[in-house]
């Protein structure tokens, strides 16, 4: 198993849509990613039906520990993006073949 890259995604879109040029496929992928990123940066959820939901969460400042030294430290407050797959995606990923 490998990793699907942005280049792979562009290639798959380009080869499966005979009316698109390669540059149009690149533009479509880049536009989708730009819209998705902008939504998350604004703190909005990104819901893709039958795929899943990306959510921005605020994490409070908290105590932590440096695993190399064992020394205590304070981790700053930050925002993180979480992903929850849809039931359909979860079912397909876990399907035993």
User: Does the pLDDT at position 78 exceed 60?
Assistant: yes
Find tokens 């994490």 and name the residue.
59
Q: What pTM, to 2 d.p., does this model score? A: 0.78
Same domain, 51 and 36: no
User: Does the pLDDT at position 82 exceed 60?
Assistant: yes
> Torsion angle, CA of 7/8/12/14, rounded to 10 degrees?
20
* Number of compact structural domains in the chain: 2
Asked if 28 and 21 count as a contact pair (C-beta separation under 8 A), the reply is: no
| CA 11 from centre of chain | 19
In this prediction, residue 1 has a pLDDT band, given cuts at 50, 70 and 90, of confident
pLDDT tens sequence across 10-68 = 999 999 999 999 999 999 999 999 999 999 999 999 999 999 999 999 999 999 999 99
Same domain, 16 and 61: no
Same domain, 27 and 54: no
Same domain, 10 and 57: no
Which residues constitute the domain of residue 50? 46-97
Same domain, 28 and 65: no
Same domain, 56 and 33: no
Asked if 41 and 54 count as a contact pair (C-beta separation under 8 A), the reply is: no
């Amino acid at each position: 198993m490998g990793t699907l890259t942005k280049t792979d995604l562009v290639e798959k879109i380009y080869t499966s849509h005979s009316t698109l040029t390669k540059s149009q496929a690149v533009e479509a992928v880049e536009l989708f990613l730009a819209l998705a990123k902008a939504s998350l940066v604004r703190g909005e959820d990104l819901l893709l039906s039958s795929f899943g939901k990306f959510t921005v969460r605020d994490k409070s400042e908290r105590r932590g520990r440096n695993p190399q030294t064992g020394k205590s430290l304070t981790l700053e407050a930050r925002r993180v993006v979480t992903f929850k797959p849809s039931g359909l995606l979860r079912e397909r990923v876990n399907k035993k073949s």
